[in-house]
A and B are shown apart, each in its own frame.
Chain A
């Protein structure tokens, strides 16, 4: 998967956020494993995946945190988006309420997250056109106004799934040029970061 012979591998922490049932886990499973099931078990807590993606002669290795979507689990989210290089915020195009929730996540990231976090907005379930409640136009406008990039995706048909992650990787590389010898801290993990950050666990 990773470009062989590539000399630059960057680890990048990526978090998926969004309301319950919008398809966060399905997107990740489609992307990482090429699988899709109609009834994906609810995510309890969070799940971790990794996937490398080659962009030209560089490789980004995503460390993906797939989070539980229900509002009640909100308090567990900061430890996953804290220090994230990228966030994919997911809503369901057939459910207007999930779009409103996505906007809230954007606000929260803008307020609490790192200012350099690349944010992508995914309008998932794009195969269910007849049930659409959120127009692509509206989402696109919102994304542009808020500095996100936007794609409609379908974990079921695989439309735009690889693309949204690829585009994220591309932007990460653009935003963090290679001349910095230490590299940017993309992953926020100990090998790259002093252990003081260890205190940043969720269970204080």
Chain B
């Protein structure tokens, strides 16, 4: 794996990724310098660029997490935003209301998310196809309504949690966008490694077997209950980590960020890149994450375009932009 990782191409890519904030802030300086000499350059500011990229990275993390259930085990999850919500509110409430450290809140959020994943998974283990999709959808909608309406639980109307503090690392507050950028990069890197290692292990092969034919997998001795539960828990934990990051990045969160369409947005990314592939999830989330931020001012057009993308991809390239190779 190491040999494959350190080819010249990947090293250049890694370097570019790591040096991105430097380039962004550098271009800011150049724009400033030219502006003082009367030349106006229309380049987006480093803050904006970094924000777009951080959100895209967050979506990559979420897409990787979602991909585990529909991509690896073949069960359509329409309620992934539910775990994102659980993570966001766990971390947000622990930090803003109880003053806990982010470094404790983050793993707790992941564990809490995984618990919900198991909880949701338990009654749905026997369900397949459409019925599973509907239960996941109803589950996330219920969580959304609870957070939106239960003020005693959240402490604010419409699920408002204000002033979530920045993570504190050895006395440094990590609030600047470049710090957030490296922060999400590290989380994303860990997620990629975890998902990659899982996919190329006994577990990943069991998942693939379940996806291809549940009954055949069971008759080959794969414990459906265990492997499906594991998929739900890992997927949910990654979603919750994303939520925890989102909470401290946004500083203020409200229920509106966790609506049903967010689940579809993430699904759209996974489907665009190719269900069941790590590269596909990253590519799809990269494209749609950036596009989503750029199209944000256009409101309605955004989701209209996402809808059309879903339809076109299913019609003309159902395996996604990066079609998966046959597993050996």
Chain B associates with chain A: no
Q: Which residues of B contact A (CB under 8 A)?
A: none
